[in-house]
Amino acid sequence: MSDLLGTIMAASSGMQAQANRLRHVAENIANTDTPGYRRKIVAFEEEIEGGRHTGRVETGPVRLDQTELPMVFDPSHPMADDNGYYAGSNVDLVVEIADSREAQRSYEANLKVFDQARQMSRGLLDLLRK
């Protein structure tokens, strides 16, 4: 029974991590046109309890994408310098949409694993009751 519980916990942690990733992707998309905004990048780390690997995953610290900010020419913009340029955002919508789809599909895969483990544990309990 502990293997089933471990599987359920691993799938649950994967869903939670992907949901957190999707939240940061949504923040990136919302700030596409914000001057000076740097894209947030989320990395995953394996959980370790008592020096042992648990098989669960969690999101690590959020990092900012350090690629150079594009300079946008708009002399009428309030943040423009003397030459009419201001620092734009380094968010690429195509990359963010791809990341959101990947996170969604990973979430769905973890949900299927969770559901299969739940059905297996229910079947086991039904067999034990008979």
- pLDDT by 10-residue block (mean), the chain, 130 residues: 80 93 96 95 89 86 94 93 94 95 95 91 86
CA distance from start to end of the chain: 17
pLDDT of residue 124: 83
Residues with Cβ within 8 Å of 38's Cβ and at least 6 positions away in sequence, in order, are: 64, 65, 66, 69, 89, 90
> What's the predicted TM-score (pTM) here?
0.82
Residue 52 is predicted with a pLDDT of 85
Q: What are phi and psi of 79, to 5 degrees?
A: -95, 5
